[in-house]
Chain A
Amino acid sequence: MTSSGSVLDSLGSSESIVQVALLSGQFALLATAILLGYAFLLRASLTLRNRRHAAFISVWRPILADVVSGHDPDQTTLPALKRRDLAFFLHEWNITHDSIRGSAETRLNALARTLGVDQQVWKMLDQHQVRHKLVATATLGHLGEVRAWERLRNLIESSNTLLSLLATSALVQIDADRALPLVIPHMANREDWPPARVATILRRAGPDAVSEPLAKAILEASPEKANRLLGYLDTCHLAVADELTHRLLKYSDDDYIITALLRTLDNPRELPIVRELLAHERWHIRMLSAIALGRIGEPEDTATLIDLLSDQAWWVRYRAAQTLANLPSMSIERLREIQAAQSDRYARDILDQVIAEETL
């Protein structure tokens, strides 16, 4: 009682309010002074860093350009790479590597090895700072460092999305045939891996390496995972993609898989299935079927497309009208005739728009 009473008394006194206020204010001023000092230190270090970077660029960019344009690095004339310039060098080197192909890559790797950068990168991989690990992973991939295989393989499991993706990319760069059967299941499982980045890795590996393991993984995966992998079908050889599409369209009833397949489907042998799908209950499947019909359809499909002009979904009507307008035998006059024959206002309106687009 006594103690709580004294707390209340103390809360009630003017002195305690003033004390709390003074303490808070002093804390704020002290913290501000620290932040200010830190900010000025940061700015000073940035200025210094910019100067060093400018000096680095003036020496090393011509050397990198020289190596890329066909000259082997000459150990006798190369300047020593200062320890403090390693980060600048790796940044420039990786950017240059990413924009070249062929023998220039080999020469660039030789330059890095001549300078002992490969040894430094191994140390960076062991460091705690994620940024160092990221740069080291990208560099080891570009270097095609086979000895790093197990280390990189472990990094695929990392919860850091970027690090796991860079490790995947590095493994594919080191040995695509060995890496893809290993990493494709991860591509199906890792929901945090952005499809655009995965597709870039697969494109870089090329269809020879991608086709077989990807097709196998799609056929063995659950519908949800297969759907995710189907998005990368265009990185396979056309024949493999065609065969897979045929098998899946025949046996799968999963809407998402059908949707993914309709987007890339380009073989006339799928025409009967596409015609069936034009009556699907989901509008986006009808829409994609109408678009697919434009790629693989026959003259007799014109009547079906005309029927779709009265579909209840705007996008189905619009895509059907566009497909109709793009048929080889179609002309503006013929479109106008079709329009005049329509009793449905929506069909006439959508043709109005597509005719205007065609004549613009």
Chain B
Amino acid sequence: MNLEQFVHGAQWLFLGYFVFLNLGYMFLNLIAMFSLRRYMEARGVDSLPSVYSNFELPTSILVPAYNEEATITSSIRAMLQLKYPEFEVVVINDGSSDGTLNRLIDEFELIPFPEAYRIRLKTQPVRTVYRSRVYPNLRVIDKANGGKADALNAGINAARFPLYCGVDADSVLQPDSLQRIVQPFLDDPTTVACGGTVRIANGCRVSGGFMEKISLPRNPLALLQVVEYLRAFLFGRLGWSPINALLIISGAFGLFKKETVIAAGGYRTDTVGEDMELVVRIHRKLRKEKRPYRITFVPDPICWTEVPEDLKTLKNQRQRWQHGLAESLTMNFRMMCHPRGGWVSWFAFPFMFLFEFLGPLLEVSGYLFFALAYLQGWISMEAYLAFMLVAVGLGVLLSTSALLLEELSFHIYPRARHMAVLFAVAIFENFGYRQLNALFRLLGLLRWMFRRKARWGEMQRTARWSTPAPEKSRSEPTPP
């Protein structure tokens, strides 16, 4: 192969990659649009007042916590006030080295409790189980440090109810979060897991752990992530859900059938992306056993989280995500094109592998190749610009279509000015931010290749949006 043939081949490869990647996402976008339309239709009629019935499944909220002393009490207080007939909150203190446990003990009047703790999933030793004197539905498991997955497994061991909801300690929930995310389990008894849409809390005002005022972040990096999250959740997840091929449920807020997770072996402690790995493994197990099941997603914005506002934290987060994705896919590689795997094996898994796992490598190589080829005179200026037009143009198209989905559905950002800003962001994120992200993810891929293990994701949190709960809520606990 001579240089000319190599350059031609490479041009087709990278051009083909960008076109097919975006065609794939456009296909998901169409599915998401259709499914969102049906969902919104049903939601409109369902907004009539509903009566609680005893069919709502009791749910355990599991909150793994590691060095969360700054936000843990307001988060837990908000969770205790969720609108739901029967639920418990189980906080798992994973050997925090700060004052997380003491804050919890003081705030919720915890006392040691001789619980006959069942070890159904193996974890690091549990030191003490606490129960609150004030809230009968609050327990705290204090255990030796073992990572988030280990903490979640301990929480599953302690959970009393058939469904459990894994929630990040810093997540801000809507009061009706549980009601919304439980709905698929009521509508279809074969549902084994359900994820919810996570939105960005930076720039919003949170009081007492609940969202009070929604606005856009002022920090440019956080603002860029607003469009990215819309894209990821509104069609990245919603597109996969109707064909039962959803491979990711965010660790920030996801509901699972406890027995299904235990039967699958719980969370793996040797991976960074324990949330994705579990979902892929559940697909694999249930498909293998030929059991009917659904892993689904509710598009309602039910959980809010803080995103990084500085490049260093963003870089760490994206590296960790890519590392986790790589582990999840390679650990379950038998899913790839498995004869019994359906849409998961023949579409979702190969798509994730080609465009998410290898994506950063191809994307960064593509940009570098075209720049180098132009500088070396292998391709013309026109060819270089045409490639950039494809890469940037299709990126803008995808981001714009995510914003359109938002406009067709929830209108979370109330002012027209907000949408105008977001449309501007959808264009400008393609000039630098997207490329930077691809680079961070490539570094994550390299980290995975060299097997550098990561544990709890340490994030620089500002929590500027959060104000403490009003004092009166202390004396007005919502009974379970």
Which of A's residues lie within 8 Å of B, judged by CB? 11-12, 14, 17-18, 20-22, 24-29, 31-32, 35-36, 38-39, 42-43, 46-47, 91, 94-95, 98-99, 130-131, 134-135, 138, 161-162, 166, 192, 194-196, 199-200, 203, 231, 234, 314, 317-318, 346, 349-350, 352-353, 356, 360
Cβ proximity bits B90-118 to A, threshold 8 Å, 1 near / 0 not: 00000000000000000000010111101
CB-CB under 8 A from B380, the residues of chain A are: 14, 18
Q: Are A21 and B12 in contact (CB under 8 A)?
A: no
What's the nearest-Cβ distance from chain B to residue A14, in Å? Answer: 6
Q: Are A200 and B51 in contact (CB under 8 A)?
A: yes
B116 CB contact (under 8 Å) in A18, A131, A352: A352
Instruction: Determine if B372 is an interface residue (Cβ-Cβ < 8 Å).
Output: no
Instruction: Determine if B404 is an interface residue (Cβ-Cβ < 8 Å).
Output: yes
B400 CB contact (under 8 Å) in A27, A36, A194, A346: A36
Which of B41, B396, B411 has the largest number of chain A CB atoms within 10 A?
A: B41
CB-CB under 8 A from B111, the residues of chain A are: 360
Q: Are B114 and A21 in contact (CB under 8 A)?
A: no
Q: Are B390 and A28 in contact (CB under 8 A)?
A: yes
What's the nearest-Cβ distance from chain A to residue B18, in Å? Answer: 8
Q: Are B423 and A95 in contact (CB under 8 A)?
A: no
Task: Report the nearest B residue to A95, measured CB to CB.
Answer: B48
Instruction: Determine if B45 is an interface residue (Cβ-Cβ < 8 Å).
Output: yes
Q: Are A350 and B116 in contact (CB under 8 A)?
A: yes
Q: Are B15 and A20 in contact (CB under 8 A)?
A: yes
Instruction: Determine if B386 is an interface residue (Cβ-Cβ < 8 Å).
Output: yes
Q: Are B400 and A131 in contact (CB under 8 A)?
A: no
Question: Given A22-B389, A25-B386, A200-B53, A346 and B131 touching (CB < 8 A)?
Answer: no
Q: Are B401 and A35 in contact (CB under 8 A)?
A: yes
CB-CB under 8 A from B131, the residues of chain A are: 356, 360
CB-CB under 8 A from B379, the residues of chain A are: 14
Instruction: Determine if B289 is an interface residue (Cβ-Cβ < 8 Å).
Output: no
CB-CB under 8 A from B45, the residues of chain A are: 131, 134-135, 138, 162, 166
Bound CA span A14–B42, Å: 51
Question: Given A95-B49, A166-B45, A35 and B397 touching (CB < 8 A)?
Answer: yes
What's the nearest-Cβ distance from chain A to residue B357, in Å? Answer: 24
Query: Could you tell me which residues of chain B, from 380 to 421, have a CB within 8 Å of some CB in chain A?
Result: 380, 382-383, 386-387, 389-390, 392-394, 396-397, 400-401, 403-404, 407-408, 411, 416, 419
Which of A14, A31, A32, A317 has the largest number of chain B CB atoms within 10 A?
A: A32
Could you list 13 examples of A-B contacts with CB < 8 Å? A21-B390, A25-B386, A35-B404, A42-B407, A47-B416, A134-B41, A134-B42, A194-B187, A231-B55, A314-B118, A350-B116, A360-B111, A360-B113
Interface Cβ pair total, 8 Å cutoff? 152
Instruction: Determine if B263 is an interface residue (Cβ-Cβ < 8 Å).
Output: no
CB-CB under 8 A from B42, the residues of chain A are: 134, 162
Query: Could you tell me which residues of chain B, from 8 to 67, have a CB within 8 Å of some CB in chain A?
Result: 8, 11-12, 15, 18-19, 22, 41-42, 44-51, 53-56
Question: Given A17-B383, A24-B393, A98-B48, A42 and B15 touching (CB < 8 A)?
Answer: no
A35 CB contact (under 8 Å) in B49, B394, B400: B400
Question: Given A21-B15, A138-B48, A196 and B400 touching (CB < 8 A)?
Answer: no
Q: Are A196 and B49 in contact (CB under 8 A)?
A: no
Using C-beta atoms within 8 Å of the partner chain, give the interface range for chain B: 35 or more
CB-CB under 8 A from B50, the residues of chain A are: 200
Which 3 pairs show the lowest CB-CB distances between chains A and B? Answer: A25-B389, A28-B393, A21-B386
Which of B5, B54, B403 has the largest number of chain A CB atoms within 10 A?
A: B54
Q: Are B49 and A17 in contact (CB under 8 A)?
A: no
CB-CB under 8 A from B5, the residues of chain A are: 12
Q: Are B404 and A39 in contact (CB under 8 A)?
A: yes
Q: Are A98 and B390 in contact (CB under 8 A)?
A: no
Task: Report the nearest B residue to A130, measured CB to CB.
Answer: B41
CB-CB under 8 A from A162, the residues of chain B are: 41-42, 45-46
What's the nearest-Cβ distance from chain B to residue A228, in Å? Answer: 10
Task: Report the nearest B residue to A137, measured CB to CB.
Answer: B45
Instruction: Determine if B186 is an interface residue (Cβ-Cβ < 8 Å).
Output: yes
Instruction: Determine if B133 is an interface residue (Cβ-Cβ < 8 Å).
Output: yes
Q: Are B386 and A194 in contact (CB under 8 A)?
A: no
Q: Are A353 and B114 in contact (CB under 8 A)?
A: yes
Q: Are B12 and A38 in contact (CB under 8 A)?
A: no
Q: Are B419 and A39 in contact (CB under 8 A)?
A: yes
CB-CB under 8 A from A200, the residues of chain B are: 50-51, 53
Bound CA span A130–B41, Å: 8
What's the nearest-Cβ distance from chain B to residue A350, in Å? Answer: 5
Bound CA span A138–B48, Å: 10
What's the nearest-Cβ distance from chain B to residue A100, in Å? Answer: 11
Bound CA span A99–B49, Å: 7
Instruction: Determine if B476 is an interface residue (Cβ-Cβ < 8 Å).
Output: no
Bound CA span A219–B113, Å: 47
